[in-house]
Amino acid sequence: MAGDFTEQSDPFGLFASWLEEAKASEPNDPNAMALATVDADGLPDVRMVLLKGHDEHGFVFYTNAESQKGTELAGNPKAAIVLHWKSLRRQVRVRGPVSEVSAEEADAYFNSRARDSRIGAWASQQSRPLESRFALEKAVAKYAAKYAIGTVPRPPYWRGYRIAPVYIEFWHDRPFRLHDRVIFKRSGPEGDWTRERFYP
């Protein structure tokens, strides 16, 4: 258990312990998170993605850079995420600037995926109009034949992104909506954290 999280001073260690507990209690995808970005008009956009890495440098996810989220991040490289673990009655919110992970890091994760998922990354023109399911299946068959032998390389548009947090909030449900909220903030990705409790 994480103990009294309101007394913790290391947000990354606290997050890691909460995620481990969620892996034991959540029925599906404890690493699922809502990712929020904004478009060129400043209109927010949010969708579910999977957290694929976390450490003191930030929180990592992967996507097609030509997708809606990819183009929005290219125009405004800042994002927010929230992970909600209903079984534990907890959530974590994160905000910060976004940068691409190295090609080596992206390659390593891409190569760890199932072969069919790697083929799918080539076949899907993510976030663009699709005339029919058959067209998608045809594209899958095309790339499955192209990469029938040997490794499936990472598409140049398939990339990883790292959110370097400047704000992390830990929330835990308490009776009568008197929830515990602890906020870690810093001025930039390399700054020192300050910690505060907030009213629920």
**Active site positions, annotated:** 177
**Cα end-to-end distance, the chain, whole Å:** 23
> How many CB atoms sit inside 10 A of residue 183's CB?
17
Tokens, residue 34: 């809502």
The DSSP annotation for 5-66 comes to GGG---HHHHHHHHHHHHHHH-SS-TTEEEEEEE-TT--EEEEEEE--EEETTEEEEEEETT
Q: Which amino acid is at 126?
A: Q
Cβ pair 77, 98 in contact under 8 A: yes
